[in-house]
Amino acid sequence: MAWHIKRIYEPKEDKDGTRILVDRLWPRGLSKQDAAVDVWLKEIAPSPALRRWFGHDPAKWTEFQRRYREELEKNTSAVEELEHRIGKSNATLLYAAKDLQHNHAIVLQRFLGKD
């Protein structure tokens, strides 16, 4: 079983396995058909308040990680749903953020112990 993360704007590949969008908002300028998403789990994304606070500011990255992990610890139903959807198959967590080094998919992957 392999887990990947990548921007949703990247093309679908066979190695992706189950493609899971982990953003609360649908990505701009992308049709559902082009996205090739198998599952959209909005509930696992950072809360709107946390997302607005972070604003993709790298200076807030350390604190964002801590706050998002705290949200994930309280959001057991969404975490269990994600793990259930993936099962023992390959999976790719999809996100729309432009920053490849400071985004919630990285935190989520680490939280799940799959990095």
pLDDT in tens, 67-91: 999 999 999 999 999 988 888 888 9
- Distance of CA 81 to CAs 20, 56, 78, 98, Å? 11, 26, 5, 26
At residue 1, the pLDDT reads 65
Q: Cβ distance 35 to 8 under 8 Å?
A: yes
- Distance of CA 48 to CAs 23, 55, 62, 113, Å? 11, 11, 18, 24
Confidence check: pLDDT of 115 > 80? no
Per-residue pLDDT tens over the stretch 36-58: 999 999 999 999 999 999 999 99
At residue 2, the pLDDT reads 74
Domain boundaries, position 31: 3-111
Domain tally, the chain: 1
At residue 18, the pLDDT reads 93
At residue 86, the pLDDT reads 83
At residue 114, the pLDDT reads 57
At residue 33, the pLDDT reads 87
0.75 surpassed by pTM: yes
